[in-house]
Amino acid sequence: MDYEYIVVERPVEGVALVRLNRPKQYNALNLQVLTELAHAFESLDKDEGVRAIVLTGNDKAFAAGADIKEMITRTSAEMKSAPFVAGWDAVAMARKPVIAAVSGYALGGGAELAWACDIIIASETAVFGQPEINLGIIPGAGGTQRLARTVGKYLTMEMVLNDRRLTAEEAARFGLVNHVYPLASYLDEAIKLAAKLASRAPLAVQYAKEAVLFAFESPLRAGLQHERLLFYTLFGTEDQKEGMQAFIEKRAPEWKGR
């Protein structure tokens, strides 16, 4: 598939960089962007050469949300039948770790794209918010749910009901952002972190991600059982034998991804 509104690069071995590229509209997420995003994430997730993915926008905007001009005339039925949530879902469903590198505006569906990632790196200029209320709608790509599970009821209410926006520093303080860096270095730092993840035992990284995400979807007992099952399963991999052998022999492990 040829992409018009996203760019996919391989900045370092094992890492894919997906860049939203609709700069004049602050990377507003129209159906074309979302379809391309879904296609890219589904392909990268299957690509054995990719072990971690960085999702970014540009310095001014990660993404300013779903495309308001495209949505304005839509009916409920049209919104429901359009592949509207496919882009967010593809990011959230990736088995490989996904890092959001956010600068500038991350609003509405743009913030929800970041919330769908596993780790969030922000530049000092990043602004996060769910301003849908100003448009007479609510977040529709996970904002109410992922925010409430991450920062709890009260801050989520203020963000969703009253368009409270968070600076990068505030978002970091509330546990929504892992690290804040200067504008000049946030993307390099995200790629560096992705390279580190890509150097680790691939199946263990994927299973670890699956186990953590399961915590958001299950009661504790079911989560513990699921974690244990994944833990036992890894003892059937060559990488578990290699990782432990390398520890005993005091050398670096060589991961095979099986």
171 labelled catalytic: no
> Contact region for ligand CAA (CB under 6 A) — 38-46, 100-108, 178-186, 213-221?
100-108
Q: Which of 65, 87, 108, 109 is catalytic?
A: 109
**Binder to ligand CAA among 11, 140, 253, 257 (CB under 6 A)?**
140
Give the separation between CA 61 and CA 20, rounded to whole angstroms: 9
Give the separation between CA 124 and CA 171, rounded to whole angstroms: 11
> Interface with ligand CAA includes 186 (CB under 6 A)?
no
Helices 202-214 and 220-234 cross at an angle (nearest 10°) of 170
Q: Which residues contact 174 (CB under 8 A, 6 or more apart)?
A: 151, 155, 166
Question: Based on CB atoms, which residue is closest to ligand CAA, 64 or 147?
Answer: 64
> Interface with ligand CAA includes 107 (CB under 6 A)?
yes
Nearest approach in angstroms of CB 64 to ligand CAA is 3
Q: What backbone phi and psi angles, to 5 degrees, belong to 151?
A: -110, 0
Residues in the chain: 258
> Interface with ligand CAA includes 139 (CB under 6 A)?
yes
> Interface with ligand CAA includes 105 (CB under 6 A)?
yes
Q: CA angle, 126 as apex, 124 and 132 as ends, to 5°? A: 160
| DSSP strand pairing (166-167 vs 127-129) | antiparallel
Residue 245 burial (C-beta neighbours within 10 Å; 0-12, 13-18, 19+)? exposed
> Interface with ligand CAA includes 68 (CB under 6 A)?
yes
Q: Which of 129, 132, 141, 171 is catalytic?
A: 132
> Interface with ligand CAA includes 72 (CB under 6 A)?
no
4 labelled catalytic: no
Question: Based on CB atoms, which residue is closest to ligand CAA, 97 or 131?
Answer: 131
Using CB under 6 A as the criterion, which residues of the chain lie in contact with ligand CAA when the complex forms?
Answer: 25-26, 28, 64-69, 105, 107-109, 112, 131-132, 135, 139-141, 143
